[in-house]
């Protein structure tokens, strides 16, 4: 406890870090306040409750702004969609690949394209959002055409403002701004989930609630291990004599994450899991098979749903890892800098060696990721409340763990630069870049 208090004092004794933390808190408060500003022309008392399915997932990411019909009702999600599209284009389209390799000027052009695409996606999603979730509730008190126009303008402005907040957090705060906005939306639902679970269990179920909290603790520890687990590939750099001085000759490591794809496979798989039920609705009542598929895949606790969900996650993990981790580029960069893997020839053999390692660690990583994704369904089957069960795994928990660990690493670097002891007893968080340099 004394060490923790001492670490907190050290954090706030660094002026730059203190200002950044205060700025981050201020920007996050603005984001949360905006989540409660309802679109003009909407009667909040007539809005429905917490949505389910993909809408429920979006509402969790946005901290309730989606179900509140807020001006931040779409939040940062259109920007994330646009970023994913541009990321895929830079992998498969030569024009965007060339743009990405142009350095700072190329990144600026990609950012401009991303912003324009964000506005277009916001308008498209805004039409669906208003038509599917607000108008059917009868909460609109003005003409439909006027409400649609004003809502699209305000939702687009809200999304761009959220994007600006995220950039300001990255620039003047601590952590990745976009990720912080998503994380604060998820965490904002946690106190309510605990209270709802406690009310549901009652006084007689306090022991069960404690057991659930302990299980959640160990699940979080397991997710941290999965997020931080790496396979380190040793790289030896040849010695070079320049002007009588010896450079290089040291061994470093390339950290390859076991879960290099992060939460993207779950997001991709989750977006496809609504297709079977949607298609089955077309032939609902006309075919027993269609009725069976519609009923089965509308229930995310069914074993059929979870089996297909897990299989899609494993497939998408391999796919996303393949397009984001390029063994050939890694081998080429090593060769250009005079580095080599001990016992492996530079060039193509090194690329094949790295590719083999990635394939070996991606399989267990994808299986564990699939297990984390279906944990909320297993928790509900075991008797945990639906709202509290969302924190037992899935996208929400992975995002929270990833963002918190990234933020802690940034704070750790500030402490170590000022010669303070780090946040961990060892002085270095796992995956800190300094951990991969050996003299």
Residues 176-208 have pLDDT tens digits of: 888 888 888 888 888 888 888 888 877 777 888
The full length of the chain comes to 439
Q: What is the mean pLDDT of the chain?
A: 81
Distance CA 79, CA 120 (A): 10
Please, what are the domains in the chain?
1-173 (1.10.3370.10), 199-416 (1.10.3370.10)
> Does the pLDDT value for residue 367 go beyond 60?
yes
> Are the beta carbons of 219 and 391 closer than 8 angstroms?
no
Q: What is the mean pLDDT of residues 49-53?
A: 64
pLDDT of residue 434: 40
Cα 163 from chain centroid?
16
Q: What pTM value is reported for the model?
A: 0.76
> Does the pLDDT value for residue 214 go beyond 70?
yes
Task: Supply the DSSP symbol for 337.
Answer: T
Long-range CB contacts (< 8 A, 24+ apart) of 130-136? 133/48, 133/51, 133/55, 133/66, 133/67, 133/69, 134/39, 134/42, 134/47, 134/69
Q: How confident is the model at residue 25 (pLDDT cuts 50, 70, 90)?
A: very high
Task: Supply the DSSP symbol for 39.
Answer: P
> Are the beta carbons of 224 and 237 closer than 8 angstroms?
no
Distance CA 53, CA 64 (A): 14
Close Cβ partners of 210 (under 8 Å, ≥ 6 residues apart): none
Interval 230-272: pLDDT, tens:
888 888 877 665 555 655 557 788 888 888 888 778 877 876 7
Distance CA 420, CA 431 (A): 19
Q: What is the mean pLDDT of residues 209-234?
A: 88
pLDDT of residue 436: 38
Segment among 52-61, 316-325, 346-355, 406-415 with least mean pLDDT: 52-61
Among 211-225, 277-291, 393-407, which range has the highest average pLDDT?
211-225
> Which of 236, 239, 233, 282 has the alpha carbon at shortest distance from 254?
233
């Amino acid at each position: 406890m004394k060490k923790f208090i001492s670490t907190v004092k050290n954090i706030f004794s660094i002026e730059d870090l203190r200002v950044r933390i205060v700025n981050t808190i201020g920007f996050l408060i603005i984001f949360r306040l905006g989540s409660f500003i309802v679109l003009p022309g909407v009667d909040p008392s007539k809005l429905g409750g917490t949505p389910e399915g993909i809408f429920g997932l979006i509402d969790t990411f946005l901290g309730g702004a989606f179900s509140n019909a807020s001006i931040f009702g779409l939040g940062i999600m259109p920007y994330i969609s646009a970023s994913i599209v541009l990321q895929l284009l830079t992998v498969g389209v030569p024009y965007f690949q060339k743009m990405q390799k142009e350095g700072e000027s190329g990144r600026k052009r990609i950012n401009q394209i991303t912003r324009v695409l964000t506005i277009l996606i916001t308008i498209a999603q805004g039409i669906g959002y208003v038509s599917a979730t607000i108008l059917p509730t009868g909460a609109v008190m003005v003409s439909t055409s006027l409400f649609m126009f004003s809502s699209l303008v305000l939702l687009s402005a809200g999304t761009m403002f959220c994007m600006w907040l995220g950039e300001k957090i990255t620039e003047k705060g601590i952590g990745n701004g976009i990720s912080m906005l998503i994380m604060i939306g998820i965490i904002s639902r946690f106190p309510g989930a605990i209270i709802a679970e406690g009310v549901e269990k009652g006084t007689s179920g306090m022991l069960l609630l404690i057991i659930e909290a302990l299980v959640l603790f160990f699940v979080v520890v397991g997710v941290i291990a999965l997020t931080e687990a790496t396979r380190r590939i040793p790289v030896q750099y040849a010695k070079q004599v320049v002007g009588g001085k010896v450079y290089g000759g040291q061994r470093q490591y390339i950290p390859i994450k076991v879960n290099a794809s992060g939460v993207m496979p779950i997001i991709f798989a989750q977006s496809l899991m609504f297709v079977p039920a949607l298609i089955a609705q077309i032939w609902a009542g006309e075919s027993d098979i269609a009725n069976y598929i519609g009923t089965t895949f509308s229930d995310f606790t069914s074993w059929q749903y979870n089996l297909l969900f897990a299989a899609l996650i494993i497939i998408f993990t391999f796919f996303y890892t393949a397009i984001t981790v390029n063994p050939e580029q890694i081998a080429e960069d090593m060769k250009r800098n005079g580095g080599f893997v001990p016992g492996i020839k530079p060039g193509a053999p090194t690329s094949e060696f790295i590719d083999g390692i990635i394939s070996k660690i991606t399989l267990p990583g994808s299986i564990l990721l699939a297990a984390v994704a279906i944990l909320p369904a297993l928790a509900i089957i075991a008797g945990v409340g639906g709202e509290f069960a969302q924190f037992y795994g899935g996208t929400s928990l992975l995002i929270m763990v990833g963002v918190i660990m990234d933020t802690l690493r940034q704070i750790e670097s500030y402490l170590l630069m000022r010669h303070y002891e780090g946040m961990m007893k060892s002085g270095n968080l796992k995956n800190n870049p300094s951990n991969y340099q050996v003299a």
